[in-house]
Amino acid sequence: MTQSKCPVCGCKQFHVKNPDDEYDVYEIECRDGEVRFEAGLEDDECPPVGDDTETFCNACAWHDKLNKIK
């Protein structure tokens, strides 16, 4: 199992913003190219996430499209 890391600091935890409310964020991990949301969220609560979704590192200032860490 391969888990994606931040290209700057190596952190494995990221977040994406809700497209309808930029202050609402969702914690994610990317394992084997698949996005996994934080535990406890139902599928219908999660925003759509694709390769072009802006993704933010939880430990440093890095952010870019999801496909940069896949």
User: Per residue in 16-68, pLDDT tens?
Assistant: 999 889 899 999 999 998 999 998 888 888 999 999 999 999 999 999 999 99
pLDDT of residue 41: 86
User: What is the identity of the amino acid at 56?
Assistant: F
Instruction: Examine the pLDDT at 1 and tell me if it is beyond 80.
Output: no
pLDDT of residue 35: 94
The Cβ-side half-sphere exposure at 59, using a 13 Å CA radius, reads 9
Q: By C-alpha distance, which of 7, 10, 19 is closest to 46?
A: 19
pLDDT of residue 10: 97
Instruction: Examine the pLDDT at 5 and tell me if it is beyond 90.
Output: yes
Q: Tell me if the pTM is above 0.95.
A: no
